[in-house]
Structure 1
Amino acid sequence: MAAAGLERLGLWLHLRHRSAMPADRILRPEGHGPLLVQWVGPAAGPARAQVASVLRTACPDLRILDLSDRPEADRDRSAMTALLLDQKPVAILILGSDLPVALIAAAETRDIPVIMGETRLDRRDLGWSVGRNLRRNLLRGLHRLLVTDSDSHDIARRIGVAPSRVTMSGPVTEIRDPLPCNETERVSFAQLLRGRHAWFAACVPPSEEPAVIEAHRAALRQSHRALLILALTDNDRIAALSDQLEAEGLIVARRDRDEEPTDEVQVLLTDGLTEMGLWYRVAPVTYMGGTISGDDAEARHPFEPAALGSAILHGPHIDKFATDWTHLDAARAARAVPSAGKLAQAVAELTQPDLIAELANAAWTVSTGGAGVALQIAQPILDALERTGP
């Protein structure tokens, strides 16, 4: 009884202020096909297009009414009730972690299924307050909840979402075509590097060169035949850095001189960013340059190495491609390095094939799983369309 009272209080407090935008000004999508009402949170952008593509492939005449920019979807239950009564959608789709309270409450009264996907729950959802209690109650009432990670799945179960209604789907990620490479070159390098530990430092700015070289020295202490493949952001630095490394006792080969990484070579300096697909393929481990210093103007997308089977290391500066880094980290598909001093430790640890394989497999799953996750989110809507018939 007390819990029910808190739920009613929380709902009243949230909905007591109506928006100034009447729902009758929301335009009905053109066409005569079935209607889906959609609300997309700010962090779920990549999911919008992919889920819509799946739905429209299966149901070409589907109409989608997007309420993402309408404040009354969160605050005005009477407006949402009138909208749903007038437009009679087959389902409500919510993407992201935010809850449009008025829309969900109105759908419940009309017995319209609400599917929520691309959702990441927070430990704060387990706390006790009027607002948190309201959020838990709304989540428990969803027709289906598809979460991005195991922690969110655990939280959903702990707050009382029925096991049959919650699924850990993983995130909807941007689908990127793998970078190409010359297959003859790849085979040649694979033969040259057979049995050696090779790692790739991609797009390394001058500020990170010392940390990368120190990390490679740590790798050499673990495996004396280790090879660093180093791509600099400034090609004018190649000659000077080669001279410096040789003066420090390292054996260097330069790609711009067609020098090969023979068995005694310890560092291969690439000739720029034109063969990234080759290096991701031949190096089991990749450090993504610019993420330790924050000098990331040339930083590459993390799904580039992920899609090609290379385990990924990154520093704390991941604002560029932040959403994709968050997906990888949440899936334990990348190794975060908090500082330059810790890079050496991480590289040394990743001379172990089992650890490399675990990271690389998880990263590949995240980077290539977007289409499958989009289908999982779309499936309950397709089921609702089938039940309603033509």
Structure 2
Amino acid sequence: MSRFVYTLIFYLALPLVVLRLLYRAWRAPAYARRWHERFGLSLPPFPASKSSGKAIWVHTVSVGESIAAAPLVKRLIAMYPKHQVVVTTMTPTGSEQVRKLYGDTVYHVYAPYDLPGAISRFLNHIKPELAVVMETELWPNTIAACHNRNIPVLLTNARLSERSARGYGRLGSLTRNMLQKLSFIAAQSEDDARRFTELGFPRARMQVTGTLKYDLVISDVLKQEGQTLREQWLTGRSQQARIFIAASTHPGEDEQILEAFKEIRRTLPDILLVLVPRHLERFDPVYGLLKNEGWQVSRRSTNDTVTPDTDVLLGDTMGELLRMYATADLAFVGGSLVEHGGHNPLEPAALGLPIVSGPHVFNFTEVTATMENAGALTTVHSSSELARHAQMIFTNEQAAQKAGSNALGVMNKNRGALDRQLMLAQALIS
């Protein structure tokens, strides 16, 4: 497929894109705000303190990528104080996470749709000296526009699963031409590098740097906030009370979590489940599911009091996942009991938590294998397996501490991607 054909299809599909945005806005009102930014229109000016006009653009997608990019973004802010660091996202949850991470220290807007006019208006406004794209957020027209303006593009923390590689491969010349316009790729692993090479990217312009996710550092402030919440949520419960968090869950997974929770409660009646759906448009449906099944539910978004009678705390706020992890004794990482591909297990690992996951982790194959081999993560294949493992962790303090210590050990052993990726960004800027 040529880029011309791709662009034509995108324009023809634009009414469907808008309808999808309307649908998501109906499910989650935050999608109804700031539409103009998605078309590169009416973008706010840079603050007066950044009058040099120099900018570095970092593109993330949603919450996970925003958190992963945070160490790199903060170092870029410190190293280039005269530059305006621009951080774009695609989702309201990502936008909220950027606000929580940086406040007013970065310029944040939604990334423009991959249409020539929208991209042109966006680039005319921010005039970046470098574009840093996180993981695999590849858009043909965006990359071509940067290439035509001599803006170097660094695909950093890059990962490419076998499934994604097959999808890109089916696009033939469109993928090949797009990849060749990238300036450099910082791949997470040798397998990722191999897949990019097989799709047509020159190996000479690629370096395996590891993943930024290992460089995540949890602040003492956040840890203390988590402990304060934990004390509040467990007030009035027995000494055997524990907190089990199931994070970033997807449709078809919440039901399995709740089945496991029923089994856990048969022998450990004082466990509190913190259930955090992945997308904000799922908050109300999951609340409905919980109520229909007869659970006593508190909602985080409305600051409901968590009492000794509360069965489930619904984590229906944005940008609070790390704080909620910091309350827990065991973390289940979602998107893995259903065929979504899993989410980042290194966030609970950075807090020293025992971690459990389902088998569908193709988005994090190498990270999951590393953690499992180190005894930091356990894979389960069903709700009954999940229940049995949780019961063991909650009743065996030595096993829980060992798994948590192993998780921290994996994090400390694999740090360093930040410095390697930062050096690549510096070289492209200069």
Q: Identify the match of residue 201 of structure 2 among 161, 179, 185.
A: 161
> Which residue number in structure 1 is paired with residue 60 of structure 2?
40
Q: TM-score, normalised by structure 2?
A: 0.48
Question: What is the CA-CA distance between 1:140 and the residue it aligns to?
Answer: 3.3
> Which residue number in structure 1 is paired with residue 132 of structure 2?
93
The question of 1:27 aligning with 2:44 is answered: yes
Question: What is the CA-CA distance between 1:151 and the residue it aligns to?
Answer: 3.5
1:28-84 deviations in whole A, cap 9, x for unaligned? 422134211232112412023222101012112220233435677333223433543
> Which residue number in structure 1 is paired with residue 185 of structure 2?
145
User: Structure 2 matches for 1:304-343, cutoff 5 A?
Assistant: 306=349, 314-316=356-358, 328-329=367-368, 331-333=370-372, 334-339=377-382
> Which residue number in structure 2 is paired with residue 50 of structure 1?
71
Question: What is the CA-CA distance between 1:106 and the residue it aligns to?
Answer: 0.6
Larger radius of gyration: 1
Q: Structure 2 CA distance, aligned partners of 1:86 and 1:341?
A: 54
User: Structure 2 matches for 1:159-238, cutoff 5 A?
Assistant: 159-168=199-208, 169-173=210-214, 174-176=216-218, 207-208=263-264, 233=271
Question: What is the CA-CA distance between 1:108 and the residue it aligns to?
Answer: 1.1
User: Structure 2 matches for 1:58-69, cutoff 5 A?
Assistant: 58-69=79-90
- Partner SS for 1:93: strand
- Partner SS for 2:81: coil
Q: Structure 2 CA distance, aligned partners of 1:309 and 1:105?
A: 42
- Partner SS for 2:112: helix
In the alignment, is the contact (CA less than 8 A) between 2:61 and 2:137 conserved in 1?
yes
Residue 130 and residue 82 in structure 1: after superposition, are their counterparts in 2 closer, same or farther (change >3 A)?
farther
- Partner SS for 1:92: strand
> Which residue number in structure 1 is paired with residue 120 of structure 2?
81
| Unaligned segments of structure 2, at least 5 residues | 19-34, 91-108, 225-241, 245-260, 273-328, 337-343, 393-401
- Partner SS for 2:89: coil
Question: What is the CA-CA distance between 1:341 and the residue it aligns to?
Answer: 6.7
In the alignment, is the contact (CA less than 8 A) between 1:175 and 1:368 conserved in 2?
no
Question: What is the CA-CA distance between 1:23 and the residue it aligns to?
Answer: 3.4
Question: What is the CA-CA distance between 1:131 and the residue it aligns to?
Answer: 4.2
In the alignment, is the contact (CA less than 8 A) between 1:38 and 1:68 conserved in 2?
no
Residue 330 and residue 37 in structure 1: after superposition, are their counterparts in 2 closer, same or farther (change >3 A)?
farther
Residue 304 and residue 376 in structure 1: after superposition, are their counterparts in 2 closer, same or farther (change >3 A)?
closer
Question: What is the CA-CA distance between 1:155 and the residue it aligns to?
Answer: 1.3
| Unaligned segments of structure 1, at least 5 residues | 181-201, 213-231, 235-286, 295-300, 348-356
User: Structure 2 matches for 1:250-329, cutoff 5 A?
Assistant: 288=330, 306=349, 314-316=356-358, 328-329=367-368
In the alignment, is the contact (CA less than 8 A) between 1:10 and 1:133 conserved in 2?
no
> Which residue number in structure 2 is paired with residue 10 of structure 1?
6
In the alignment, is the contact (CA less than 8 A) between 2:131 and 2:152 conserved in 1?
yes
Matched residue type, 2:378: R
1:201-259 deviations in whole A, cap 9, x for unaligned? x85778338999xxxxxxxxxxxxxxxxxxx748xxxxxxxxxxxxxxxxxxxxxxxxx
In the alignment, is the contact (CA less than 8 A) between 2:159 and 2:187 conserved in 1?
yes
In the alignment, is the contact (CA less than 8 A) between 1:126 and 1:155 conserved in 2?
no
> Which residue number in structure 1 is paired with residue 154 of structure 2?
115
In the alignment, is the contact (CA less than 8 A) between 1:50 and 1:374 conserved in 2?
yes
- Partner SS for 1:145: strand
In the alignment, is the contact (CA less than 8 A) between 2:40 and 2:112 conserved in 1?
no
1:326-367 deviations in whole A, cap 9, x for unaligned? 88426454331224776889x9xxxxxxxxx99977863346
- Partner SS for 2:138: coil
Q: Structure 2 CA distance, aligned partners of 1:359 and 1:133?
A: 46
Residue 71 and residue 105 in structure 1: after superposition, are their counterparts in 2 closer, same or farther (change >3 A)?
farther
Question: What is the CA-CA distance between 1:113 and the residue it aligns to?
Answer: 0.4
Q: Structure 2 CA distance, aligned partners of 1:324 and 1:288?
A: 22
Q: Structure 2 CA distance, aligned partners of 1:12 and 1:304?
A: 40
Matched residue type, 2:117: S
Matched residue type, 1:32: S
Q: Structure 2 CA distance, aligned partners of 1:291 and 1:40?
A: 21
The RMSD of aligned alpha carbons is: 5.0
Q: TM-score, normalised by structure 1?
A: 0.53
Residue 176 and residue 14 in structure 1: after superposition, are their counterparts in 2 closer, same or farther (change >3 A)?
same
Question: What is the CA-CA distance between 1:154 and the residue it aligns to?
Answer: 2.6
